[in-house]
Amino acid sequence: MKAIMKNSQLYKGSLNTIIMKLLEENGKMYGYEITQKVKAITQGELNITEGALYPALHKLEADGFLDVEIEKVDNRMRKYYKLTESGEKETVNRLSELADFIRNMQSLVNPKLEF
């Protein structure tokens, strides 16, 4: 059984980038959908907790990187998040930063490997 790395500090710093990347690929998503998508992509290895997801979404929304849409689904309202124009630009920056981070970490932990 694979471990759920929900508390790993290594992932915490990348949570916003993960959310923005998913929204870039999928257009608009709601909270539950984001958690399930991350679980599916990582085959259950990464589990975003509710306590971490919503503060991150609310912060990105307050910073102007996300916009929201409310739709009635069945007998309740659903809040969808999507990237704003500045959110799209920020996603490109953050992904590039993350790629640099991964490359540098790879060089540090395994200096023999070359990319």
Closest approach, Cβ 13 to another protein, in A, equals 18
Q: How far apart are CA 115 and CA 113, in angstroms?
A: 7
Closest listed residue to residue 39, CA positions, set 29, 30, 49: 49
Q: How far apart are CA 18 and CA 23, in angstroms?
A: 9
The 50-89 site mask, x for binding another protein (CB under 8 A), equals: xx--xx--xx--x-----x-x-xxxxxxxx----------
Closest approach, Cβ 67 to another protein, in A, equals 10
Binding site for another protein (CB under 8 A): 30-32, 49-51, 54-55, 58-59, 62, 68, 70, 72-79
